[in-house]
Chains A and B, each alone.
Chain A
Amino acid sequence: MKKIILKILSFYKKIPYLGHSSCKFVPTCSEYTAEAVQKYGSVKGLFLGIKRIIRCNPFNKGGVDLVK
């Protein structure tokens, strides 16, 4: 499961798609999710990733936001 999620994330990053440069955070949402999944497993990792994407909206200032 963990491997599949990480594969999908790395595949996503390779797609030439404009959305990639719209992320307001460092590391980007996909990098963050990959790291969270590696650290906390697929369920909690994905949950943290979704929370991060919700934070990544026009009303957030963005900035450095690492996996805790």
Chain B
Amino acid sequence: MNILIAPFINALIGLYHLFGNFGWAVIAVTVIIRLLLIPLVLPTLKSSKKMMLLQPKIKKIQEEFKNDKKALAAAQMELYKKEGINPLSGCLPQIAQIAVLIIFFSAFNMVVNYSMGKGSLDAVNKNLIPAFQLKQDYKMNLTFLGSDLTKSPSQIYKSGVNVIGLLLPLILLIGSAVLQFFSSKLMMPATKTDQLVVEKVTKDKEDDMMAMMRTQSLYMMPAMTLFIGWGFNLGILLYWFMNSLVMLLQQLAVEKKPMVK
């Protein structure tokens, strides 16, 4: 038994038995993971909002203490204290989140490999509690809304299915990219006002460059999603899509609440 993978694969197969469909199981597991991560994500969302509003002030301090790193750090800390910025979680939990994602991928791939005839049933059953174990020659239902979750958009495209068959893959792929774009946009809505303040403080060309790069980075993640997602199977894309959707909803929820100073 793999201690890391077991909780995920049990959740996936358990929910699969419940819904009778792997697609809904993936959606449910994704939502559960995101809900469990709320205590980590919420403080980060809040502090990032405050941090964004502080950007002009931070720029000013950075300019002021250009040559004295120690004084700069102290002044920055002072500013954070004054504004009540206290990121509760820290960087380690953020990295742990990426680890969770990788473990979920391997759990998912284990199921997909088995159902494509690549892996053995034992490999899957070893990680499952007795009630969830699959019987010999059991065929899992891996179609979701008419599409095969083990196939990638590119495979579906090459196999020459009709427009309707391509609908779900494209919705998942383009949908994820669009959701990510709005997520990124929400993280940096202050670009315009920010820029004006910066222009007043420093009339550097470097700042123009930075603003430009920031606009570029707005499109970078969605573009990467489109590019990489084209070759990923639909199950992973479904996870990706749901993940981006819940993320965006969380961001919007924080955004709506009045800012507490």
* A residues at B contact (CB < 8 Å): 14-24, 26-29, 53-54, 56-58, 60, 62-64, 66
Contact = CB atoms under 8 A, between A and B. Distances in A.
A27 B73 contact: yes
A58 B73 contact: no
Interface of B: 41, 43-45, 47-48, 51-52, 69-70, 73-74, 76-77, 80, 86-95, 97, 183-184, 187-188, 213-214, 217-218, 220-221
Best-buried of B86, B87, B90 by chain A (most CB within 10 Å):
B90
A27 B80 CA distance: 12
Main SS class of interface, B: helix
A18 B91 CA distance: 11
Given A64-B77, A66-B70, A21 B51 contact: yes
B163 to A, nearest CB: 33
Contact of A22 (B94, B188, B213): B94
B44 A22 contact: yes
Nearest to B50: A21
A15 to B, nearest CB: 6
A22 B89 contact: yes
A66 B69 contact: yes
A60 B86 CA distance: 11
A30 to B, nearest CB: 9
B90 A24 contact: yes
Best-buried of A19, A26, A56 by chain B (most CB within 10 Å):
A19
Contacts of B69: 27, 66
Contact of A66 (B48, B73, B89): B73
A18 B90 contact: no
A26 B86 CA distance: 12
A60 B77 CA distance: 15
Contacts of A29: 91
A58 B93 CA distance: 8
